[in-house]
């Protein structure tokens, strides 16, 4: 199982771009990288997924270098509502994401 390592916490001011990096040194060939967001009293929510290079959607961008041993979630111009815990996961969609382990996540605090 690919283990992930992320910073425990980060602070950012409103309006700034936030980059959260995740290390996954033993990622397997079929694994994709998925990021989730969790607000208090809610289940984690899918944000973005990628395999390599760059993926962008309406919420975030995901940057994955060629060796795929790390990834960076980029949140543009954060607001107070982006305060949450962000999890990086590595898993195989073809395997139904079975036996995927959540790490500690990164607690992002957005400051006014």
> Which residues are at the interface with another protein (CB under 8 A)?
32, 34, 36, 41-46, 49, 87, 89, 91, 93-105
As a whole number of angstroms, the distance between CA 45 and CA 31 comes to: 19
Q: Indicate the SS3 state at residue 97.
A: coil
Burial classification of residue 22, based on how many CB atoms lie within 10 Å of its CB (0-12 exposed, 13-18 middle, 19 or more buried)? buried
Looking at the Cβ atoms of 81 and 98, the one nearer to another protein is 98
**Closest distance between another protein and the C-beta of residue 45, in Å?**
7
Residue in this structure with the two tokens 């979630």, named with its chain if needed: 73
**Closest distance between another protein and the C-beta of residue 93, in Å?**
6
**Closest distance between another protein and the C-beta of residue 58, in Å?**
14
Q: Which residues are CB-contacts of 54 (< 8 A; sequence separation ≥ 6)?
A: 61, 62, 63, 64
**Closest distance between another protein and the C-beta of residue 79, in Å?**
23
Looking at the Cβ atoms of 8 and 80, the one nearer to another protein is 8
Looking at the Cβ atoms of 73 and 87, the one nearer to another protein is 87
C-alpha angle 55-88-81 in degrees, rounded to nearest 5: 80
Looking at the Cβ atoms of 40 and 112, the one nearer to another protein is 40
């Amino acid at each position: 199982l690919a283990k992930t390592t992320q910073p425990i916490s980060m602070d950012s001011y409103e309006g700034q771009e936030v980059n959260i990096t995740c290390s996954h040194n033993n990622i397997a060939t079929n694994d994709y990288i998925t990021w989730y967001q969790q607000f208090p009293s809610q289940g984690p929510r899918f944000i973005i997924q990628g395999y390599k290079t760059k993926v962008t959607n309406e919420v975030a961008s995901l940057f994955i270098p060629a060796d795929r041993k790390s990834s960076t979630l980029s949140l543009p111009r954060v607001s107070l509502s982006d305060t949450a815990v962000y999890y990086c996961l590595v898993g195989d969609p073809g395997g139904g994401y079975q036996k995927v382990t959540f790490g500690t996540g990164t607690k992002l605090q957005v400051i006014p």
